[in-house]
Amino acid sequence: MVRILQPEERREAVNRMHELSNQDILLCLQCGKCTAGCPFSNDMDLAPHQIVRMAQLGLIDELKASEAIWYCATCFTCVSRCPVAIDIAAVAEVIRLYLQMDDEARFDPESIPKSLTENAPQQALVSLYRKFGN
């Protein structure tokens, strides 16, 4: 069941999201163009426009529990289509940052195969650590 936050709690969550992501999520019109263009929306448990809506409602705990924030590939299709230029990848990154601050790592670096660390482009490995590590 979705929680209903007190106005002050909600305002604080929205302001913090604005500060960390530099996105004014309150501008979202819920038009759905982000979801229509997102290459991963079919696999996400929350569609991109729902991520923004939940962020507007301050439902950070629910977003932290979603898989969608991990499916986002930071491809920027959504922001390129959004009429108010909301960067959902930045919103998802802030939620992942909250999880990192909670010390909830998604993977053990020791589990990365040696063949991958030796052969994968460094940028890919840095991105992997940045997205999934803590």
Binding residues for ligand SF4 (CB under 6 A): 28-34, 37-38, 40, 48-49, 52, 72-78, 81-84, 86, 88-89
Q: How far is the CB of 10 from ligand SF4 (least distance, A)?
A: 18
Q: How far is the CB of 99 from ligand SF4 (least distance, A)?
A: 17
Nearer to ligand SF4 by Cβ, of 32 and 134: the residue is 32
Which distant-in-sequence residues (6+ apart) come within 8 Å of 7 by Cβ?
none
Instruction: Specify the 3-state DSSP secondary structure of 39.
Output: coil
Rounded Cα distance, 65 and 2, in Å: 12
Q: How far is the CB of 131 from ligand SF4 (least distance, A)?
A: 12
Nearer to ligand SF4 by Cβ, of 76 and 117: the residue is 76
Rounded Cα distance, 76 and 19, in Å: 20
Q: Are 88 and 39 in contact (CB under 8 A)?
A: no
Nearer to ligand SF4 by Cβ, of 39 and 109: the residue is 39
Nearer to ligand SF4 by Cβ, of 22 and 117: the residue is 22
Q: How far is the CB of 123 from ligand SF4 (least distance, A)?
A: 18
Report H helices in 22-87.
33-37, 48-56, 60-64, 68-71, 77-81
